[in-house]
Amino acid sequence: METARLVWSRLPHSEEGELDGVELLSNTSNRNGVDSLDYEVIENYAYREEQAQRGKLYVGYNVGVKWFFALLIGIGTGLAAVFINISVENFAGWKFSLTFNIIQKSYVAGFLIYILINLALVFSSVYIITQFAPAAAGSGIPEIKGYLNGIDIPGILLFRTLIGKIFGSIGSVGGGLALGKEGPLVHIGACIASLLGQGGSTKYHLSSRWLQGFKSERDRRDLVTCGCAAGVAAAFRAPVGGVLFALEEVTSWWRSQLMWRVFFTSAIVAVVVRAAMGWCKSGNCGHFGSGGFIIWDISDGQEDYSFEELLPMAVIGIIGGLLGALFNQLTIYITRWRRNYLHKKGNRVKIYEACLISVITSVISFGLPLLRKCSPCPDSDPDSEIECPRAPGMYGNYVNFYCSKDKEYNDLATIFFNTQDDAIRNLFSAKTIHEFSAQSLLTFLVMFYTLAVVTFGTAVPAGQFVPGIMIGSTYGRLVGIFTVNHYKKLNIEEGTYALLGAASFLGGSMRMTVSLCVIMVEITNNLKLLPLIMLVLLISKVCILLVYSIWIDVLQNVLTLFPSQAVGDAFNEGLYEEQARLRGIPLLESRPKYEMRKMTAREACGNQKVLSLPRVVKVADVVSILRSNKHNGFPVIDHTRNGETLVIGLMLRSHLLVLLQSKIDFQHSPLPCDPRGRSQAIRHNFSEFAKPVSSKGISINDIHLSSDDLEMYIDLAPFLNPSPYIVPEDMSLTKVYNIFRQLGLRHIFVVPRASRVIGVITRKDLLIEEEIEDSAITELQSTSVRGQRHEKRLLVRNADAERPLLSGILVQDTDHTLS
């Protein structure tokens, strides 16, 4: 045990390396210029002393702040969702009632007005995005997923992105494009959470000192997870769905403690949205508020289903799998093409593109229903509340559009010339059998599918949920028509099939399972259909897997005809993963690759040169090391008295940069600083080492040092992470991957095989509390007992620490580290 009594035993290595025992997010600077997050909590004296002083009260305060933030996120996201909904529904409602008024006189004038309003809204949206908040384009879910996986994409969580997303969504959704506001709401929730977590936006002078408690990456990540759940909860008014979405789709690390908080945030959102809708019901919000808390309520739909119906439902599942996978595939092609050709030409092209798509969408949605012959209204049932045709300016089924007679309606206009929410409500509606003709549904399906594919990837905030539901419910209803015709005696509602279709398409495209189920149930308020939704989702998944394996077989024969890599993957990954991949966000999946089984940790490092730093390092050496490479972490090596080298910790580039910039730790002597003179570390505020979210941090080129400075030394000991994770060199890469991924690491040191084992830790050693409990009545005294224990331990350590101080420790090792 002689060798164990070493210089680094003075270091504060005994506490955990992070604020809360979980290693922080991982870093990388990857090939597509996506800057990565670089943040690790420093274990310096100052911080820990500060924390120790605050003690239990501080912990309590911290927990309180976390819950208070969860409350604020819930309220903020709820209000943002209400604001967007009110705006969109009022813009859209005003647009449609104006158009309907004008077409009483002239269809041409109505047509023009309709196109112009849409164009103006879409233009405003794309203008905001391109000029003001480029990071707000798209749904934002892949980026948030990346953030929670450890990759910080610049700009994605800024205040301007939040504002751009809110107003951009209003424009793009209000302008009638084939996209939804649900994805953007998730992003909005995440932005609100992140801004709260970093204490407001410094740039816009909205920051508050009081809120700057969350400098830990893990706490920020937790808040963003809450924000995502809040977004979904607000978008669909589906609180449980929100929690599950955050759990299943977005986060990479999930802790059971977080569940409660996420759940609380979702509940708050539900309460806020509900309260706002209650207030709006009395007519304070114009067109908004008529829908009720359940978005597309079909609880009065089909009561029961029989086994004969399983066949058409399976058909829906298969169609969903195929069309969903095809959708992903097509969007990949379009996005690649956009990225490589169109969007390289600058913002102007993006604006033109969005405007052009807006005009096309308007023309198709207005023009196609004109070509469709009107149908006579069904015999009115006095009990039914559904009017035919619907009253002007109201929502509902049976739209009278370009019909010659009063008692007629245009089935294509009912879904096409309408807001998407209303169209979906019509498609889901029960007791409206044969409202839509197969021909109209087919036309709509083809046109809308094309529009959705083309619109995907334009420079406006865009969600894929609502378009997915539109597409799915259309073919679902189509299958429903055939089923109704075939099984005449059964009590079948076409709306049920529309719902199943929607679930199957979303399943095929986004590959969510449990959260999608719950969301579908919550938005339709029909629990009885749950097993059917599950069934349809499973079939669509199996169908994708089958097609995928066949596809791969075929392609392995055809090969090289396509840019084949994308084709193969398309059938294997969900929309968000695809988007993340296209944007160069290197997500670490939860499962290691099959190839890793045959590799060792050493092989994964390849021939990379390890650059290590000595404990006390010359400033000039630090600068040259930082200039010479892009690594983000460096091992720090020290020497024992008998000349052996010893790895004493991990030093982060970002922390080195902070030290270089502040200069206050420079010392003239190449000897380690006195550990009891802790003044160096206290000179630093803990928050100096924190990097703001969504920024690139300092670069070595920003730092200017005089030649005197370069001759000075820094003692790294107070600033390094003294117990980085290690793996032996010949460990299987699969195991290494699991450690890295499951603990959320950024650096693992690969070390040689150990020469001896000091101890073996088993479950027994980790059940401290239990042992004591059994032996005594002292649980409540345990604080004191334990306190004494620790004091003893600390004494021992201090005794240890005092012996080998400052004697023959320092061997300048610049050769080794710079070679």
Using CB under 8 A as the binding rule, the residues of this chain from 486 to 515 that contact its own copies are 513-514
Asked whether position 240 contacts its own copies by CB under 8 A, the answer is yes
What burial class does residue 374 get, using C-beta atoms within 10 Å of its C-beta: 0-12 exposed, 13-18 middle, 19+ buried? Answer: buried
Residue 348 lies near its own copies (rule: CB under 8 A)? no
| Residue 815: exposure state from Cβ atoms within 10 A (0-12, 13-18, ≥19) | exposed
Question: Smaller CB distance to its own copies: residue 171 or 507?
Answer: 507
Cα–Cα distance list, 782 to 14, 21, 326, 767, 772 (Å): 21, 22, 62, 14, 9
- List 122, 648, 656, 673, residue binding its own copies (CB under 8 A): 648
> Which residues within the stretch 349-368 sit at the binding site for its own copies (CB under 8 A)?
none
Q: Which of 5, 54, 598, 676 binds its own copies (CB under 8 A)?
A: 598
Beta carbons of 82 and 272 less than 8 angstroms apart: yes
302 or 410: CB nearest its own copies? 302
Q: Are 462 and 183 in contact (CB under 8 A)?
A: yes
Q: Which of 521, 570, 617, 693 binds its own copies (CB under 8 A)?
A: 521
CB of 779 vs its own copies, minimal distance in Å:
3
Q: Which is closer to its own copies, CB of 272 or CB of 315?
A: 272
Computed on alpha carbons and rounded to an integer, the radius of gyration of the chain in Å comes to 31
- 531 contributes a contact to its own copies by CB under 8 A: yes
Out of 450, 661, 667, 732, the residue judged to bind its own copies by CB under 8 A: 732
User: Are 409 and 403 within 8 A, CB to CB?
Assistant: yes
Q: Does 421 bind its own copies (CB under 8 A)?
A: no
Which run of H or E residues covers position 376? strand 375-376
Tell me the closest approach of the beta carbon of residue 390 to its own copies, in angstroms.
24
Quick one: which H or E segment has residue 751? strand 748-751
Of 643, 596, 633, 589, nearest to 611 by C-alpha is 633
Quote the least distance from Cβ 632 to its own copies, whole Å.
Answer: 7
Identify which of 211, 215, 168, 203 has the alpha carbon closest to the alpha carbon of residue 187.
168
The one among 41, 167, 740, 809 contacting its own copies by CB under 8 A: 740
In the complex, the smallest distance separating the C-beta of residue 752 from its own copies, rounded to whole angstroms, is 6
Give φ, ψ of 375 to 5 degrees. Answer: -110, 150
CB closer to its own copies out of 453 and 748 = 748
Which residues ranging from 20 to 39 are in contact with its own copies (CB under 8 A)?
21-23, 26-28, 30-31, 36
Using CB under 8 A, count the residues that bind its own copies: 161
d(CA 308, CA 326): 29
Please identify which residue in 764, 807, 815, 819 interacts with its own copies, judged by CB under 8 A: 764
Both tokens assigned to 229: 């759940």
| Smallest distance, its own copies to C-beta of residue 237, A | 9
Question: Shortest distance, CB of residue 269 to its own copies, whole angstroms?
Answer: 9
| Structure tokens that stand for 216 in this block | 């830990």
**Least separation, in Å, of the C-beta of 693 and its own copies?**
18
3 touches its own copies (CB under 8 A): yes
Q: Is residue 382 at the binding interface for its own copies, with CB under 8 A as the rule?
A: no
Backbone angles phi, psi at 728, to 5 degrees: -70, 155
Any bridge partners for residue 614, and if so which?
Answer: 637
The nearer residue to its own copies, 541 or 618, going by C-beta atoms, is 541
Residue 629 touching its own copies (CB under 8 A):
no
541 binds its own copies (CB under 8 A): yes
Site string for its own copies, 186-225 (x = CB under 8 A): ----------------------------------------
Instruction: Classify 340 as helix, strand or coil.
Output: helix
Bridge-based pairing state of the strands 408-409 and 616-618: unpaired
Among 773, 795, 803, 805, binds its own copies (CB under 8 A): 773
Residue closer to its own copies by CB (options 304, 381) is 304
CB of 294 to its own copies, least distance (A): 7
Paired residues of 805 in beta bridges: none
- Is the CB of residue 188 less than 8 Å from the CB of residue 166? yes
Q: State the Cα–Cα distance between residues 441 and 457, nearest whole angstrom.
A: 25
CB of 328 to its own copies, least distance (A): 16
For its own copies, the binding residue among 254, 333, 548, 686 (CB under 8 A) is: 254
Task: Rounding to the nearest 10 degrees, give the CA dihedral for residues 581, 586, 587, 591.
Answer: 100
Q: Distance between alpha carbon 74 and the CA centroid of its chain, in Å?
A: 17
The site map against its own copies for 260-279 (x = CB under 8 A) is x--xx-xx--xx--xx----
In the complex, what is the shortest distance from the CB of residue 138 to its own copies, in angstroms, rounded to a whole number?
20
- C-beta of 673: minimal distance to its own copies in Å? 20
**Binding status of residue 565 toward its own copies by CB under 8 A:** yes
Among 116, 765, 788, 808, contact with its own copies (rule: CB under 8 A): 765
Q: How far is the CB of 331 from its own copies (least distance, A)?
A: 18
The residues in 774-803 that bind its own copies, with binding defined as CB under 8 A, are 774, 776-781, 786, 790, 793-794
Q: How far apart are CA 704 and CA 382, in angstroms?
A: 84
Q: Does 535 bind its own copies (CB under 8 A)?
A: yes
Site for its own copies in 134-173 (CB under 8 A): 150
Q: Applying CB under 8 A, does 752 fall inside the site for its own copies?
A: yes
Residue 248 binds its own copies, judged by CB under 8 A: yes
Residue 134 near residue 155, CB atoms below 8 Å: yes
- In angstroms, what CA-CA distances link 158 with 196, 506, 689? 11, 29, 20
Q: Does 645 bind its own copies (CB under 8 A)?
A: yes
Scanning residues 436 to 455, which ones bind its own copies (CB under 8 A)? none
Helix intervals (H) in 372-431: 411-416, 420-428
Q: Does 727 interact with its own copies (rule: CB under 8 A)?
A: yes
Cα-based distances in Å from 791 to 591, 594, 795, 796: 43, 49, 6, 9
Q: Which stretch binds its own copies (CB under 8 A): 79-87, 408-416, 535-543, 676-684?
A: 535-543
Identify the residue among 61, 64, 68, 603 touching its own copies (CB under 8 A): 603
- Can you tell me which residue has the tokens 């996209």? 179
- Of 725, 810, 812, 814, which lies in the binding site for its own copies, with binding defined by CB under 8 A? 725
Q: Which residues pair with 635 in a beta bridge?
A: 650
CA distance 416 to 61: 53
Whichever of 204 and 260 has its CB closer to its own copies, that residue is 260
Q: Does 42 participate in binding its own copies (rule CB under 8 A)? A: no
| CA atoms of 365 and 353, how far apart (whole Å) | 18
569 binds its own copies (CB under 8 A): yes
Among 522, 578, 621, 665, binds its own copies (CB under 8 A): 522
- What does residue 123 show for φ and ψ, rounded to 5 degrees? -60, -45
Site for its own copies in 293-332 (CB under 8 A): 293-294, 299, 307
Q: Are 244 and 87 in contact (CB under 8 A)?
A: no
Between helix 45-103 and helix 256-279 the angle, nearest 10°, is 30
Structure-token pair, residue 241: 């769905």
Question: 245, 515 in Cβ contact below 8 A?
Answer: yes
Q: Which of 667, 734, 812, 814 binds its own copies (CB under 8 A)?
A: 734
The residue from 349, 646, 703, 811 that contacts its own copies (CB under 8 A) is 646
Residues 59-118 that bind its own copies (CB under 8 A): none
Looking from the CA of 613 toward its CB, the CA atoms found within 13 Å total 31
4 near its own copies, rule: CB under 8 A: yes
Preceding omega of 389 cis (within 30 degrees of 0): yes
**Minimal distance, residue 339 CB to its own copies, in Å:** 13
